[in-house]
Structure 1
Amino acid sequence: MTDKHINDENFAIELANTIKIVHGQETDLIKDSQSFISWMLNKNLIKDTDKITSSELDSLFAKIIDSRKIIRNVLKQISEISYVEPKVLDDINSILKNIHIHIQINNLNGKLVKSFNTDSDFCSKILLLIYDSLIDLLVNYELERIKQCASSSCTLFFIDTSKNKKKKWCSMQTCGNREKAARHFNRKKLDTK
């Protein structure tokens, strides 16, 4: 299984990665409700957009944008210090209490675990999928495997599935090769001086 495949199955990482660098500019892939619907369809979060009312979509879109910011901050913290601060767990649990589907993440004897209490509406179901993915990430993976791409021109997060936990780039084909080529070019440039 490749990292891309794992990331594609984790809605939290996928949501965080809807902000990316394209042609040197930070780009928001879900900048409006229409692009958000397309993203949800692409990720199989929804099957029929006709069942989503305009007010549900507006409410969900606002919550998703807020959630993305929170998730990016959590992933950034984990990628930098491989630790989830207790306040972050409290913040996540506080959000989960307000989505009508209660998921909790707790520290039981040093192990992060999740629990459910469901009561659902459309908005809550989507938020549940996103936050459930985040909790799965925190509970089921070693935190040092959650990384942000080391490329200076990339902001993507990924799960490092390498044996030695030393993977630096979200994709060797793009970011890894680009960084290696830049280093090679700089070495050659210095050698010719």
Structure 2
Amino acid sequence: MMSLPHRISGNLALDLANTISWRNTSREIDHLATFGDVLAWSREVGLIGDDLVLSPPEQKTLYEQVLALRNAIRGAGSAIANDLDPLRPDFDIIRDIAALALCQASLSGTPYTLHFKGIYRVTGAIAWSALDLLRGDELSRLKQCPPDDCHWLFIDRTKNASRRWCDMGTCGNRAKKLAHRAAH
């Protein structure tokens, strides 16, 4: 199993979108290349424990939905972060999976909490996280890391909205080193 990426975005849906490192380069790593990777990531982010048992068709559906959500969230998030209009199909995928999950969910507690079942323990939670971001106050703080080999999405929660990179320790330092070399 492959190592999982750092979770730097501040949002579950964006963390899913960021599961490809070094996108479109010779070093590209898809952290969700297999169904096992999806399960490991889902455990890592706290969506499931070891109790999730799925039939082979359910495993296939879960894997396909996770990859579809990842692409849709990345597409919509990238457009929004760059002041563009997201594509309707990206919104449709997020909405459709959220609707399917809601049909299988139960409500309990005070305040009420959605409890998803089966594959929707993963995809329902992600789709609703995406919807919450799209409908929430933090959407204006959605940014995308500028380096050509990264493009990870994140929520800038700095007081003055000045965060530029997904992670200062990697992309920020690399950008500063390149700028320093160019200046000298």
Distance of 1:33 and 1:87 partners within structure 2: 24
Selected match of 1:135 from 101, 123, 131: 131
Alignment of 1:1-193 (within 5 A): 7=9, 10-21=11-22, 25-48=27-50, 51-81=53-83, 89=91, 92-99=94-101, 101=103, 121-188=117-184
Identity among equivalent positions (%) equals 29
Say if 1:75 and 1:146, in contact at 8 Å, map to a contact too. Answer: yes
Residues 1:167 and 1:120: Cα distance change in structure 2 (over 3 Å): closer
Give the 3-state SS of the residue equivalent to 1:183 in structure 2.
Answer: helix
Task: Give the alignment's TM-score, normalised by structure 1.
Answer: 0.75
Higher strand share: 1
**Runs of 5+ unmatched residues, structure 2:** 1-5, 106-111
Say if 2:73 and 2:130, in contact at 8 Å, map to a contact too. Answer: yes
Equivalent AA in structure 2 for residue 38 of structure 1: A
Say if 1:96 and 1:102, in contact at 8 Å, map to a contact too. Answer: no
Question: How far 1:121 moved relative to its partner?
Answer: 3.6
Root-mean-square deviation (CA), in Å? 3.0
Question: How far 1:56 moved relative to its partner?
Answer: 1.7
Report which of the two structures shows the higher radius of gyration computed on alpha carbons.
1
Give the 3-state SS of the residue equivalent to 1:147 in structure 2.
Answer: strand
Distance of 2:128 and 2:102 partners within structure 1: 14
Distance of 1:11 and 1:181 partners within structure 2: 30
**Runs of 5+ unmatched residues, structure 1:** 104-115, 189-193
Say if 1:101 and 1:124, in contact at 8 Å, map to a contact too. Answer: no
Give the 3-state SS of the residue equivalent to 1:122 in structure 2.
Answer: coil
Say if 2:102 and 2:124, in contact at 8 Å, map to a contact too. Answer: no
Residues 1:31 and 1:49: Cα distance change in structure 2 (over 3 Å): farther
Task: Give the alignment's TM-score, normalised by structure 2.
Answer: 0.78
Question: How far 1:89 moved relative to its partner?
Answer: 4.7
Question: How far 1:173 moved relative to its partner?
Answer: 1.7
Distance of 2:92 and 2:168 partners within structure 1: 36
